Amino acid sequence: MEAAQDINLRDKITVTLADAAKLTGIGRAKLEELAKGDIKFPSFKVGVKTLIHVELLNKYLAEKATMRVGEKTMSKRVAEIIAKREERE
């Protein structure tokens, strides 16, 4: 039988914030902020430990990347003009 420490992080069902940071390259503090503040972030508490569901984390990050969250894709003014045009149509 394989020892727990020999299991690849990607093969686990859940990981800690520290392990999620290793997997994603996102800082532990940012992951903790997401866990506390984003209802869609796939985390839960067991006692004082925050665990993150690996498969759902991958889906969460893919969705964010698709939506380009955090990136400035157009100016606020351009977004207002587009919104007004769409309202008229």
pLDDT in tens, 11-36: 899 999 999 999 999 999 999 999 99
Question: What mean pLDDT is predicted for residues 42-63?
Answer: 95
Given a cut of 60, is residue 4 above it in pLDDT? no
Q: Which of 6-34 are b and which e, b meaning 16 or more Cβ less than 10 Å from the residue's Cβ?
A: eeeeeebebbbbebbbebeeeeeeebeeb
The highest-confidence range among 5-19, 24-38, 74-88, by mean pLDDT, is: 24-38
pLDDT value at residue 1: 44
Q: What is the DSSP letter of 8?
A: -
Matching residue, tokens 């984390």 = 57
Cβ atoms 53, 46 nearer than 8 A: no
Mean pLDDT of the chain: 85
